[in-house]
Structure 1
């Protein structure tokens, strides 16, 4: 079939060469996975953040089907359980959906350009720090700097994005408001209550949005307004009203266990079967679901720049707490031909921009790879730019995903060696 044909060109040797692992290690993994029962694959978010991201995740998802890992407890595939409860927030919204444009935030810089027709005149930011987290940082910065863009940022701290706001609205933290949350990993829902009163004039999202609706004439008499009313409406609209007692008593609601994938938990396909080459994905990729697109590295920009998470932050959250400068990590094999030593000031650059920082030479990264943590703020580098200034805003092959891991750069020393 189509999937078998897509797999045919991929020998162990070719896969190992492109992946940068030894062929014998790849063979050992395949053997171990094939022989292990039960075996489960938990896919993270990193594999999708490149030009081949959608096809890569689809291929990973195919492994347990091909290897026969479904149908037993503890076997199969998982990624996130946040949708396990099937929460539908539409029950808390009395009004019909408004007619709006949908803009992919991974290309916010493009969308904020004056040439956008019609141009975006108002930007409301909440729960996000786009200047620190989105690709093509310089383009995002240029958009935020537009004099004719009215920007409102609802935030807990003065982020890099908030510094471009016309109005900053203080936001509550999780300690100051009630929250109904579906879990990221476990199959539970939690309702946490506020433990302190809101500080100053800070308000939660729902209160700000509710008051905005009133001010502009969109509020309706039957809109749920209090946290408890919102919870009741959401649970009722999701067929989960029977969990209210547990949430009131313990703050936790759990789904009954016992489900086994491909026994009593089936794919949401028309026939309840796994499709290795789904028609919808083939249409979206114009038939190129499993067609590999080569590494974008060039002679001018040969190093892959990655932005791994740091234990000091959650994405860009808490970036205000650490004011120390961050160093670029490079492997000794890449440092030597560039005459770099620990502590040197360097310029990391490509056609999108540049970052000026110090360098740390280490074997923590592989040859051909440089690393700067994700979520950095402007105070973490000398020129205020971070890794996202070097990340393209091109999209992955499926789902409009970001391609942070496709950043390719060059590194050069600035001035004399640091003593």
Structure 2
């Protein structure tokens, strides 16, 4: 590490909570008075990064030294709801916080709440502040708002949600690749490139999505289904596979536990009516069934997170997985289900987190579900709220309710961030944060089964702090740490975490910047022994017998009512990267419909319209999106429209959580659109 530092080159990992987890070499000018970081060079030898960044953050130096980056602490001088602050010193900010924390500690230690997520997905950035909350016996959030429903759905089948090495995509035996509910070209560009490579070797591509994505245009088969009807498509497919004798009976008998009447539940008495609900042509669906039979034991599924962002999302993902189970497409070359790979490294990651959070002592914090932050704060049990690595006043659902809750006069809120954002509008104090490149950290990307590191470079902004450094300073003036738990520097936490790795992994991290859990050709569960009690796959009795929110609601939909989806924009990641992608912020002013829907509403492209439901209302510009299915509306998530009459799309989303994994049911909502 020292030799490489002399050359001003350090390994680094993109900290954003996305599929890539790109690993790169960071080039620094150590002697510069400011702007030490020069540029990042993505690693060519990393089998997923492959020498290129996505379009979202390929110029991270612009973000690091952006003129709007916060360089001091800020204290509110106006009412909550605006970014109206005055500069104060870090020491003065800490003393203000000290008074509030001491007052809360006298009342109840659990009245101090830490809310965090994966705005910086580094393990130390996320989890080291919990040392502070352990010291005070405070409360912290747990869980997430993203893919937890799908993870739980898969876990109920396999005892894990990680079953497949994603590099099976390059295996020549993967002759049929099914991309279900994932816009790879916008959200997973590195996998998109690998799919394109597979197409060059003549692999067949099937895309199933309510939107005509870039990959759908060139796919061998595109099935444009109605949103929330995925499980009905699964029923039709499994029914046809049984009828045609394509089910792998030997695989089912030996490796799967299920009720025999699941076959009866897949039997459809009114196929015409079901296909009408699905919204795709019978001819295309039957062609899909033919290809699944033709390429049995040569088919790979890539599942996106869109289908599970619904109340019944976990059940939908579980239902889709049944196709691969019925065909025996697991544990073989070029087969499987690619969703999230985090569970492959769960035990080792848990070992790291235990040390980062507790220094190997026992945890003493109370936990609440992150998705329930609004309802928890409404109880008024909490007096001090710390928010880091998270922008809840953009990312959480039912925003009007949350914003009103955060205005409570007896709730003192501290936000740690690099920029002012929607959440800082409700903060009493804002602490300037260091960028991920300016701190040592370890990463465990959710899509690639690997670990990687960032070797922190110098920060020339003297007031900026890492999350851990802030809580270190706060603990120091509170004087609570009798065991010196908070005195360990962040770099030492990093080095001690490296010592917890097996020697081979540690060596690869230091020499290469990353370590892959599997060889590219490795096939997890090749022995077909899954981490369940009897090592078999277990299919719950009602895996195909449920009705989704969308299916029920469709019966009552009015002419001007549309199911709302809110995907990430190609150039943004949730509510991040706005300062360096300002030219694209105009897209957040729009609500998108299919051209046919606009015509049927007797409205015009570019017209200002009212968008509303029981959760909120706002004005948007109406624009057409030819790729959308009729009955579907799209507003990009992450940023407010430049029209200050409303904040962001999550004013329309429900508080109700996904039922299996307690993640956000963001796509289970309808909006109405009318002329202004």
Match status 1:58 vs 2:318: yes
Q: Structure 1 residues 195 and 235, CA, compared in 2 at 3 Å: closer, same or farther?
A: closer
Note the C-alpha offset of 1:46: 1.1
Note the C-alpha offset of 1:129: 0.9
Please show how residues 65-214 of structure 1 align to structure 2 within 5 Å.
65-86=325-346, 87-88=349-350, 89-92=353-356, 93-94=358-359, 95-102=361-368, 104-113=369-378, 116=379, 119-197=381-459, 199-214=461-476
Out of 529, 532, 537, the residue aligned to residue 274 of structure 1 is: 537
Q: Deviations over 1:323-379 (max 9, x none)?
A: 5352111123322343311221111000111121111134232211111101122x4
Q: Secondary structure at the match of 2:506?
A: helix
8 A Cα contact 1:112 1:120, kept in partner: yes
Please show how residues 261-410 of structure 1 align to structure 2 within 5 Å.
261-264=524-527, 266-277=529-540, 290-295=545-550, 296-297=553-554, 298-299=556-557, 302-320=561-579, 321-322=581-582, 323-324=585-586, 326-377=589-640, 379-410=641-672
Q: Deviations over 1:225-254 (max 9, x none)?
A: 2344323443555x5454222222222222
Instruction: List structure 1 segments (4+ residues) > 6 angstroms apart after TM superposition.
Output: none
RCO comparison, higher one (Cα < 8 Å, 6+): 2
Note the C-alpha offset of 1:382: 4.4
Q: Structure 1 residues 339 and 99, CA, compared in 2 at 3 Å: closer, same or farther?
A: same
CA distance in 1, matches of 2:280, 2:473: 56
CA distance in 1, matches of 2:544, 2:497: 36
Match status 1:220 vs 2:498: no
Q: TM-score, normalised by structure 1?
A: 0.87
Deviates further, 44-53 or 216-225: 216-225
CA distance in 2, matches of 1:147, 1:193: 41
CA distance in 2, matches of 1:174, 1:54: 32
CA distance in 1, matches of 2:411, 2:273: 50
Out of 278, 282, 285, the residue aligned to residue 23 of structure 1 is: 282
Q: Secondary structure at the match of 1:405?
A: coil
Out of 289, 294, 298, the residue aligned to residue 35 of structure 1 is: 294
8 A Cα contact 1:259 1:265, kept in partner: no
Deviates further, 305-314 or 34-43: 34-43
Q: Structure 1 residues 264 and 172, CA, compared in 2 at 3 Å: closer, same or farther?
A: farther
8 A Cα contact 2:388 2:416, kept in partner: yes
Q: Secondary structure at the match of 1:244?
A: helix
Count of residues paired in the alignment: 400
CA distance in 2, matches of 1:230, 1:62: 43
Q: Secondary structure at the match of 2:373?
A: helix
8 A Cα contact 1:309 1:374, kept in partner: yes
Q: Structure 1 residues 236 and 12, CA, compared in 2 at 3 Å: closer, same or farther?
A: farther
8 A Cα contact 1:109 1:137, kept in partner: no
8 A Cα contact 2:309 2:665, kept in partner: yes
CA distance in 1, matches of 2:392, 2:279: 32
Unpaired stretches in structure 2, ≥5 consecutive residues: 1-258
CA distance in 2, matches of 1:228, 1:62: 46
What's the RMSD between the two structures over aligned residues? 2.6
Q: Structure 1 residues 247 and 16, CA, compared in 2 at 3 Å: closer, same or farther?
A: same
CA distance in 2, matches of 1:224, 1:21: 61
Q: Structure 1 residues 194 and 341, CA, compared in 2 at 3 Å: closer, same or farther?
A: same
Q: Deviations over 1:382-411 (max 9, x none)?
A: 412322111111122211121111110110
Q: TM-score, normalised by structure 2?
A: 0.55
CA distance in 2, matches of 1:39, 1:288: 22
